[in-house]
Amino acid sequence: MSFPLLGENFPSIEVQTTHGPKSFPEDYKGKWVVLFSHPADFTPVCTTEFVSFQMHKEAFDALGCELVGLSVDQVFSHIKWIEWIKEKLNVEITFPIIAATDTLAAKIGMLHPKKGSNTVRAVFILDPEGIIRTILYYPQEIGRNIDEIVRSVKALQKSDAEGVATPANWPENELIKERVIVPPASDCETAEKRKQQYECFDWWFCHKEA
């Protein structure tokens, strides 16, 4: 089975969603996108995730990032489920949910045969050109940390804007806090200058204010 990899364009698909038919990712060109799959509607862990994604939507909006859900349930199931969430939990799901076929789910790597017939908890972060920048997979029994997905989008945008890398747990890294990492020198002359230009542990590990 082959499915999309980091750095590749997300495959073009025509899909039915709770917001009507869409061409994905073409309809989202120019925006960051978090496409996330869930095993099934009307399941407890998935319900907590959808509520959390919705409660974080302002954070995604501030980053110019759209949310799109997906599972192999039919669209009428998605509609009924989000009605239930609004009625019982007082949370209105405002982002679209794709009704995928098994073939489509397999094409984009969301069906893992040894984890059952439902889609796994996959996350694809796409940049404004539709290129896959991050892929995360979670088993059915573990809900996602939505804060980490927000953080990942922020980190990717920071890296793109400034040509830097972000450390572990950024912006709360244990060594350099909210600072960012300067790419290592690629020649001897640059390496010699690094400690004069930046704060460094050594010439290959320099950092600066974000």
Annotated catalytic residues are 46
Helix axes 146-162, 44-55, angle to 10 degrees: 40
Residues whose CB is less than 8 angstroms from the CB of residue 201 and which lie 6 or more positions away in sequence, other chains included: none
CA distance 123 to 129: 17
Nearest to 24 by CA among 82, 87, 107: 107
CB 126 within 8 A of CB 142: no
Residues whose CB is less than 8 angstroms from the CB of residue 202 and which lie 6 or more positions away in sequence, other chains included: none
- Asked if omega into 96 is within 30° of 0 (cis), the reply is no
CB 105 within 8 A of CB 37: yes
Look up residue 204 and give its amino acid: W
CB 85 within 8 A of CB 50: yes
